[in-house]
């Protein structure tokens, strides 16, 4: 297994001068369920302590200032600990269940409640019309930022007026990434209005598949803890999202939907076969690069060392 010690700050994992990454933390906690589940519970506790009041869990948490792009000064989110204003696919339900099976912990009930609120946030803020599918508003939110899925919709994002926030040698995609952040910052972040005001708004089958699985695993854990209300709510969410995701099926895979244009995006990336982990029928193969965390989900865990390698570089 990948050695995480070089990035261990005691309560969270982050390389020196870098923020805590939500995806990396969840993968680390997953790995620690096998070796040090008590430390895994602490990792999830630190991550979820930085949840926003509206339920969103940010994709970056700056426990110390960072000049690395994107720097802590870019976000201006007004949180007690500086965070980004974007999120990631919610692996948390899967991780908490694995930690619980390895070592039951008295922190579980509070963390289940936090993840339940995160699941609910996807419905209120990323599916305001109640279609059953959550959208991403920035390629970074997919945890697959370089996937071909986003090329066409991302090209519609402007690049002007953000040069002062970019590192030397930055290209147009970095300019678009910052333009979106500036747009969301101007709207005040904590509002469902972002969904209708973003020029990039795409239903990612991969994120929705993770959401389904996270809801199902959280429901199982909640039921084991005696919280039948949370269990039922999350099972209902999973059924609703699965039914909606089935409408994006095409040739054994599931296509992203550009909510701005209303068109399906005809790609064949790893994200289009990720619904396999939510129990949807998948007969196609992934094409192009497959991110380690995606490989982890698709192969049942054998890719875990590679998936955690981003923590230590």
Contact predicate 182/169, CB 8 Å: no
Say how far apart CA 33 and CA 221 lie, in whole Å: 15
Phi-psi category of residue 58: left, alpha or beta, with phi > 0 → left and psi -120 to 50 → alpha: beta
Q: Which tens digit of pLDDT belongs to each residue from 152-190?
A: 999 999 999 998 889 888 999 999 999 999 999 999 998
Contact predicate 44/99, CB 8 Å: yes
Q: Write out the two tokens for 257.
A: 């939907």
CATH code for the domain of 85 = 1.50.10.10
Task: Compute the mean pLDDT over every residue in the chain, rounded to the nearest whole number.
Answer: 93
Residue range of the domain that includes 254 = 5-311
Total tally of structural domains belonging to the chain: 1
pLDDT given at position 301: 63
Quick one: 54 exposed, middle or buried, by C-beta within 10 A (0-12, 13-18, 19+)? middle
Say how far apart CA 40 and CA 33 lie, in whole Å: 6
pLDDT given at position 62: 97
Q: Which tens digit of pLDDT belongs to each residue from 78-112?
A: 999 999 999 999 999 999 999 999 999 999 999 99
**pLDDT for 312 beyond 50:** no
What three-state secondary structure class fits 26? helix
Q: Which of 19, 43, 207 is nearest to 121 (CA)?
A: 207
What predicted TM-score, i.e. pTM, was given to this entire model?
0.95
pLDDT given at position 303: 60
Mean pLDDT across the stretch 17-36? 94
Residue environment code for 276-286, b if the CB has 16+ CB neighbours within 10 A, otherwise e = bbbebebeeeb
Say how far apart CA 111 and CA 53 lie, in whole Å: 14
Instruction: Give the angle subtended at the CA of 284 by the CAs of 131 and 258, to the nearest 5°.
Output: 30
């Amino acid at each position: 297994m990948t050695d995480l010690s070089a990035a261990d700050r005691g309560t969270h994992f982050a390389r020196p001068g870098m923020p805590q990454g939500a995806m990396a933390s969840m993968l680390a906690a997953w790995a620690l369920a096998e070796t040090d589940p008590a430390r895994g519970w602490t990792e999830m506790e630190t991550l979820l302590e930085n949840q926003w009041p509206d339920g969103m869990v940010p994709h970056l948490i700056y426990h110390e200032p960072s000049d690395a792009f994107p720097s802590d000064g870019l976000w201006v989110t007004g949180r007690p600990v500086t965070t980004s204003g974007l999120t990631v696919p919610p692996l948390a339900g899967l991780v908490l269940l694995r930690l619980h099976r390895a070592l039951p912990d008295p922190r579980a009930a509070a963390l289940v409640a936090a993840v339940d609120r995160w699941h609910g946030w996807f419905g209120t803020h990323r599916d305001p019309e109640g279609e059953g599918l959550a959208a991403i508003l920035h390629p970074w939110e997919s945890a697959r930022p370089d996937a071909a899925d986003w090329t066409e919709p991302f090209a519609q994002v402007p690049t002007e007026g953000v040069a002062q926030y970019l590192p030397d040698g930055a290209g147009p995609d970095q300019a678009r990434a910052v333009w979106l952040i500036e747009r969301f910052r101007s709207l005040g972040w904590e509002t469902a209005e972002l969904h209708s005001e973003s020029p990039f708004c795409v239903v990612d089958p991969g994120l929705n598949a993770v959401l389904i699985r996270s809801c199902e695993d959280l429901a199982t854990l909640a039921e084991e803890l005696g919280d039948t209300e949370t269990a039922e709510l999350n099972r209902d969410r999973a059924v609703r999202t699965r039914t909606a995701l089935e409408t994006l099926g095409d040739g054994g895979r599931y296509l992203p939907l550009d909510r701005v244009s209303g068109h399906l995006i005809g790609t064949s990336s790893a994200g289009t076969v990720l619904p396999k982990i939510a129990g949807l029928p998948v007969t196609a193969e992934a094409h192009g690069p497959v991110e380690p965390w995606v490989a982890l989900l698709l192969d049942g865990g054998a890719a875990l060392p590679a998936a955690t390698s981003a923590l230590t570089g």
